[in-house]
Structure 1
């Protein structure tokens, strides 16, 4: 795993949490809907669960909420770990660029504005910072 892939784990974890939260919101909306009965079909005797129609989505919501909480716990731990590893570097410019890029998810253009330097310079610092991160953190 390269330094870049390693650092991108944080954003991937964040995306997964966002998607699960969206799924949860969709399920919550679905659980509020009442389904209509189709009287046009012939009635067939079947043994149902006896549960109200909203019970299954509510159970899914509870299970998904537990998954989201577990993902958030992992995300917080990973963020703390990666932030500490970035801050263990010696060069303040490396720390700033890697933190803004991989913890704050900022683009190179925004980083350049914040650091008051050219975007090309940010790319150069980023490349050097990744090399330093690989040597000092990943090869330990």
Structure 2
């Protein structure tokens, strides 16, 4: 297994969950933007047309919520595992940088702004941390 890909998977699950949440919101908005039902529309519309739309939206939303919940469970498990693995590194700066980069999703520039190092040093520390991570877990 590739160490960087393993750690980046944590970030990508976050992005996927965000995307699914936005899709769920779009479904809700499509339901809310549907015209209100009035007595005239009910008698002049084909039977169940609005109800069918509502049912389809609710079913889609329910499936999306199930998918989101599954992804959240996956993310929590993966993050716990990754944090435990990162915590095995001896160097505290390595732990901080890998946590910030792959668990919190911060860029190296953002990390540099919060640490007493210049970007070049943070980048070097990141490379060292990744190398140590690979060695500990026999990853490529």
Tell me how far 1:50 sits from its aligned partner: 6.6
Task: Answer with 108-117 or 82-91: which moved more.
Answer: 108-117
Quote the offset at 1:92 in angstroms. 0.8
Residue ranges of structure 2 left out of the alignment (5+ in a row): 37-45
Shift of 1:105: 1.1
Matched, 1:67 2:71: no
Name whichever of 67-76 and 101-110 sits farther off. Answer: 101-110
Distance 1:110 1:56 in 2: 43
Compare the two structures and name the one with the higher helix fraction.
Answer: 2
- Please list the CA deviations of residues 43-70 of structure 1 after superposition, one character each: whole Å capped at 9, or x if unmatched: xxx9x77771211111110111111111
In the other structure, the counterpart of 2:57 is 57
Could you tell me the TM-score, scaled by structure 2's length? 0.84
Superposed, which structure 2 residues align to 1:1-140 within 5 Å? 1-34=1-34, 52=51, 53-139=53-139
- Aligned residue-pair number: 129
Q: Where does residue 39 of structure 1 map in the other structure?
A: none
Displacement of 1:2 after TM fit?
2.3
Q: Say what the alpha-carbon RMSD is for the aligned residues.
A: 1.9
**What are the Cα deviations for residues 90-126 of structure 1, in whole angstroms up to 9, with x where unaligned?**
1111101111111111111221121111100001111
CA contact (8 A) 1:32 1:54 kept: no
- Structure 1 runs (4+) greater than 6 angstroms displaced: 48-51
Question: Which range is displaced more, 105-114 or 22-31?
Answer: 105-114
Tell me the TM-score normalized by structure 1.
0.84
